[in-house]
Structures are given as C-alpha cells and as structure tokens.
Amino acid sequence: FPAFSLCAGAGQDVGRSCILVSIAGKNVMLDCGMHMGYNDDRRFPDFSYITQNGRLTDFLDCVIISHFHLDHCGALPYFSEMVGYDGPIYMTHPTKAICPILLEDYRKITVDKKGETNFFTSQMIKDCMKKVVAVHLHQTVQVDEELEIKAYYAGHVLGAAMFQIKVGCESVVYTGDYNMTPDRHLGAAWIDKCRPDLLISESTYATTIRDSKRCRERDFLKKVHETVERGGKVLIPVFALGRAQELCILLETFWERMNLKAPIYFSTGLTEKANHYYKLFITWTNQKIRKTFVQRNMFEFKHIKAFDRAFADNPGPMVVFATPGMLHAGQSLQIFRKWAGNEKNMVIMPGYCVQGTVGHKILSGQRKLEMEGRQILEVKMQVEYMSFSAHADAKGIMQLIRQAEPRNVLLVHGEAKKMEFLKQKIEQEFHVSCYMPANGETTTIFTNPSIPVDISLGLLKREAAIGPVPDAKKPKLMHGTLLMKDNSFRLVSPEQALKELGLAEHQLRFTCRVHIQDPRKEHETVLRVYNHLKGVLKDYSVQHLPDGSITVESILIQATAHSEDQGTKVLLVSWTYQDEELGSYLTSLLKKGLPQSTS
C-alpha cells in the first residue's frame, strides 16, 4: 500500500513553492511561498487543497520553510494568521532572522504603495514568527514521537537549507533551492548518503547551461568601469544580505587591481545590519569569508565607505549600493530620482523586481515614470540587469542524487514544459523512478519499508550449525518463531517462544495403516518388515525392539493381525509432525509390498 502521497502546490510557476507530503500518516507542508507576479488571490497557494473542512492545525504535523526568498515563505503569515495554523513552523536560524524583514518590506509595498486590503499586517508577521522553531544544521529535531527532521546546508542564500523528514524507516529529502557550486560568500550544498525513499528537487535551471561566473562578473565590472571612466555614477539597488556582499568583494578586488580612485559607497543602515547578521551566522558562509572575517571586519574595505545622503549630490563618478532592492522606496529610490536624468549614469538591477515597483518598470523598458505628485521622471540613465542567482543545473542535480542515493526522485519545476530527457537521464544513470507532477497533482510513491527483527543469539548459532557451512554468497534459510510485541520484532527458537508465551507445545502424531498380505504370524511379519527396511534404509537407524515394534528414527511401526482376515497384517505406522517427510516416505514404501525372500 502507498506510503506516500504528494501534492505539488508549486509545480508550474516560478513564483510559488508549496508542497504537501504525507508520509506514514504524518502530513508535512514544505515551504509556503507567494507568487510575485499576481496581485490577487492567485498569489497565495490554494490551501483548500489540503483539507476541505477541519482545522489545518489538526491535519498538519508541521510546516518547514527552506529559505527566506518570498517565493518560498511569502504566504506564511497569510497561512498561519489568516487561514489559521497554530502548529510548529521549522526553519534555520538565519531564515528566522531574515524572513520577517523581507515580509515586512513586501507588505509595505503591497499595502502602502499599492493600497491592497486583503493582506497580512505587521502584527500578523510578528505573531507568525512566534510559532517558528529555529533549527541548526545536522541537528535531528523530534517533531513528535515518530516524526523527526534534519536540516542540511543548501548554499543558494544565507540560511538556505535542505530538509530530511523521517518517520520510522521512511524518509523524504526536500531540497528547496540549492546550489552545488560554491560562490564568493557561500559554500556548496551538501548531504550525506542518507538514502531517502524520495528526493524532491527543484529543477527550474535543469535545462540551462549557464555562462561562467567569470564572464558575468567581467561584464559587470566592464560596465561599472566604463560608466565611472566617463564620469558617470552607478547605482546598484540591493537587499541588505546576499548578492550585495558578493558584489562588494568583487568591486573591492577590482578597484585594488586597477588602482581606481572613484569612491564606492554602501548605505549605512545596510552596513550595520549586514555586519550583524554575518557575524551572527558566520558558520553559514564559506571558508574564505570566515577567514577574512577573523582577520578584519567584513566592511572595513579600503575602497568602500559608508554613504551619506549628501554624497549623492557630489560631482564626479561614484558607485553606490543602496536599499531597497527593487527601487520601490527609501534611499535607493531617492538616489535614482536624482541620477535618472543624466545619460552618463547607470543603474544595475541585481535581481528580480516585483510588478509595480520602479525597478520592474524600468526593466520592462519604461523610460517615463510617474512619481508622487504626478511628477514625470524621465529616465535617461542606462538601465542594466544582471542576475547572479545561484541554482543547481542538470549537472548539480545529478551530483546531489549521487550524494544522497534516493530510491525515487521527484522534480519540481518552474515551467510546464516536458523534461522527459532529464527524467530518462536520471532513471538511466541511477536506476530510480523519476516523477514530474504538475501543479495540483498528487503523486503516490510506494516504498518497501524494511522491518528490523532481532534474532536471538542462541537461535542464530543453532541454525547456523545445521546443514552446510554458511556461505556469504548464498542465502541460508533459517527457521524460527516471530514474536511481535509492542513495537518490537524478535526471532526466537520455538521452545523459547513457547516458554515466553507460557504455552505448552502440542504434539501432532500421524498414524497410517498399511495392509500387507502375509499369512504368517505377526512376529514373523515384523521380522520381514524389519529386514526389508534395514536393507533399504541404510542411512537411517532401524531398530527392532523387544516389544515387537520397529522404529525407524523416531517413527514407530507395529504389526497386528487384521481382525477379520488372518492372512492380512495391518502395519500401523506412526510419526510426529516433525518426521512428516520420512513418515510419508515409509508409508509409500511399505505400501509397495514386501519382497518375497524368506526371513
């Protein structure tokens, strides 16, 4: 019977991840993301899929969030506070620290800027986070008596984790978003050979062959350099944590190498916050960063200084990192407005921008923007986009499968396109089944649970001594009694089992009558039978007892005269259940008749 069923709430869109897993009677929700492209109810997953009536808290055993990107956690406050869920929510420490910031930021844009009403409030975000239990990497967390989870490093962004969910001997590993190659500030994802029954992996970038990081960085530096050389200003709107650190390290190295003099600034608020989080979560970054951090403060760059609002009006070239990342409010928007009119300047958007933000508008090609107070802003500065996001490609997915050795693989993908090739590739290389459900589809995966049974040492020794010498290559059949008590399984000898259970052994005896034509006296018949059997059954112990009966091993043969016919003798052959085989053989042998020789 099925041990799993799965409902992919994510599936089709690069926008919203939410997967429901049923494993051995436990129900777990993996991620709770929001779709960034929609402005209405479609942005949240349809939670009525889960249960039509009945409370979600009763149905779900826990919720797990893989990392702080909004397409993985954006619907969490809506889910827990507006739909209603009071059970535990698990995520890593950095995720717990950073999630609320992003959620609040997004809430501000949606409600304040766009005037939406059916959205979660700041208080809801706070209440939601109170239900969060933070976990450490490789720490086994008991959700309840049977369900346990464990987080593994996923790379991708600070705090991103892959989760192993285990109930008894069945397990699932969910990767969230991960990256198999390290970058400048994060390491690569890693998992041990945990052999889960199912590995759920993202596969959005599975068909992509990315151009090398070196090329992208080189082009980025070229653009920055060209702008600065002609006296222009470069604005890079960033979120506090993540790619900003990568780019800072990149620029610092470049500035040093090229001996450039133009100033690079970093928003003050940013510096402190980033510093704080990096110090707090230093174990989540890669080796190089940790070494650097030990030697000096992350942000004591030679060429990067703290920014002051007034600097934006300074003449001459400069590069500024400012928040927020989508140019929707705050400092980065202020600076943008000041610099937009000059074609010598450039703005480089480092990531995805939500619809409705200035960032999104200029990336779509809009060059005349309506600002507050109906002011029109003409954008003459160069607009560039560059993505340094880190996801696993086909090679990375194969690597992860090789590390974890799952029995089944399920791919969650961003687009509804056929990935038959990848499916075959995985199936051929690893001899596992590969599934690719669509949004809303349920996939059932059958597992072969192994049931561990303890075998008593005495039984093992005894059985091993019987028959041929145990051979590593040939399976050996052993007999014992299986005792199932509470949740333990034991294999013991029958005698032991009887003793433990307080039962007496029943003896089963079979008796068969064989008629033989022999007019002589009974004791002569017996002698004939005895000699016959002795001659035929040379390997067995055939004995003639003083009381006139014959034994073959433990089988008893007695002869009596037939009550009605003196010429016929009746042989009673009697044996125990254990000697069934020999008994049957003897009977058929005797039925064939006795040889005609004289005794």
Partner 1 sequence: YRDLHTFELQAPTRVIEWARGSRVCVAGYGQSTGNEILQLIPPPALQAKEAQGLCPERDFKVECGGFSKRPVYSLKHVPDTSLLVTSGPPDSSLQVWQVSAEDSDVIKSVGTIATENATGKPWAKIATLSARAPWVLHGSTLDSVQITEVELRKNVYTAGCQDGEELAGLAFLDGSTAVLCCARGRLCVADVRQPRGALQALPAPAAPCGHRWCLGTACAAQGPGLGAQPVARLSSGGLLTLTDLRKASEPLASATARVPSPGSGAEFLCVSWAPALQGCLAVSGFDGTVHVYDTQSWDSSGREAEPVFVHKGHALDGSGDPALVTVHTWHPQKPRTVLSAASNGSLHVWDWVQP
Q: Active-site residues: which are they?
A: 202
Beta bridge partners of 492: 481
Q: How far apart are CB 384 and partner 1 at their closest, in Å?
A: 4
Does residue 272 interact with partner 1 by CB under 8 A? no
CB 186, min distance to partner 1, A? 20
Instruction: CB nearer to partner 1: give 225 or 490.
Output: 225
Q: Which stretch binds partner 1 (CB under 8 A): 85-93, 172-180, 194-202, 207-215?
A: 207-215
What span, in angstroms and rounded, lies between the C-alpha atoms of 187 and 88? 29
CB atoms within 10 A of CB 341: 12
Q: Does 386 bind partner 1 (CB under 8 A)?
A: yes
| 424 belongs to the binding site for partner 1 (CB under 8 A) | yes
Contact between 140 and partner 1 per CB under 8 A? no
Cβ distance 24 to 145 under 8 Å?
A: no
Closer by beta carbon to partner 1, 389 or else 584: 389
Judged by CB under 8 A, which of 104, 192, 272, 420 binds partner 1? 420
Q: Is 222 in the site for partner 1 (CB under 8 A)?
A: yes
Tokens at 81, concatenated: 């506070």
| Closest CA relative to residue 100, chosen from 64, 74, 81 | 74
- C-beta of 215 vs 282, nearer to partner 1: 215
Q: Which stretch binds partner 1 (CB under 8 A): 14-22, 92-100, 123-131, 418-426?
A: 418-426
**Measured distance CA(52)–CA(268) in Å, rounded:** 49
Residues 275, 171: contact at Cβ < 8 Å?
no
208 binds partner 1 (CB under 8 A): yes
Cβ proximity to partner 1: between 432 and 589 the closer is: 432
Look at strands 509-517 and 542-544 and give their pairing: unpaired
**Of the candidate residues 210, 367, 380, 513, the single one contacting partner 1 (CB under 8 A):** 210
The whole-angstrom separation of Cα 80 and Cα 44 is 12
- Residue 204 in the binding site for partner 1 (CB under 8 A): no
Smaller CB separation from partner 1, 222 or 479: 222
Least distance CB 316 / partner 1 (angstroms): 23
For the residues of 396-429, what is the DSSP string, one character each?
A: HHHHHHHHH--SEEEEE-SS----HHHHHHHHHH
Q: What is the total count of residues that contact partner 1 (CB under 8 A)?
A: 30
Distance, C-alpha 372 to centroid of its chain: 47
| Residue with token string 């893989």 | 66
Which residue in the set 198, 238, 394, 555 belongs to the binding site for partner 1 (CB under 8 A)?
Answer: 394
Q: CA–CA separation, 176 vs 239, rounded Å?
A: 21
Task: Tell me how far, at minimum, the Cβ of 217 lies from partner 1, in Å.
Answer: 11
List, in sequence order, every residue forming a beta bridge with 366; answer none if it has no partner.
none
Residue closer to partner 1, measured from CB, 169 or 215: 215
Least Cβ distance, residue 580 to partner 1 (angstroms): 53
3-state DSSP assignment of residue 507: coil
Tell me the window of 138-146, 215-223, 516-524, 565-573 that interacts with partner 1 (CB under 8 A).
215-223
Cα dihedral across residues 512, 518, 521, 526: positive or negative: negative
Closest of 569, 538, 533 to residue 550, by C-alpha:
533
- Determine the interface stretch with partner 1 among 307-315, 394-402, 437-445, 488-496 (rule: CB under 8 A): 394-402
Q: Is 367 in the site for partner 1 (CB under 8 A)?
A: no
In one-letter notation, the amino acid at residue 429 is E
In angstroms, give the least distance from the CB of 415 to partner 1.
11
DSSP string, 145-184: SSEEEEEEE--SSTT-EEEEEEETTEEEEE--S--SS--S
Residue 190, CB-side half-sphere exposure with 13 Å CA sphere:
8
What count of residues does the chain have? Answer: 599
Q: Which of residues 219, 256, 370, 378 is near partner 1 by CB under 8 A?
A: 219
**Candidates 107-115, 208-216, 273-281, 313-321 — which segment interacts with partner 1 by CB under 8 A?**
208-216
φ, ψ of residue 384 to 5 degrees: the values are -125, 155
Residue with the two structure tokens 């599936």: 11
Give the nearer residue to partner 1 in terms of CB position, either 93 or 423: 423
Per CB under 8 A, 38 contacts partner 1: no
With CB under 8 A as the contact rule, the residue among 261, 279, 309, 418 that binds partner 1 is 418
Closest approach of Cβ 363 to partner 1, in Å?
A: 8
Q: At its nearest, how many Å lie between partner 1 and the CB of residue 191?
A: 20
Residues 6+ apart with CB under 8 A from 128: 76, 77, 80, 81, 89, 120
366 lines the binding site for partner 1 (CB under 8 A): no
209 part of the interface to partner 1, by CB under 8 A = yes
Question: What is the binding site for partner 1 (CB under 8 A)?
Answer: 207-212, 214-216, 219-220, 222-223, 348, 384-387, 394-395, 398, 417-421, 424-425, 428-429
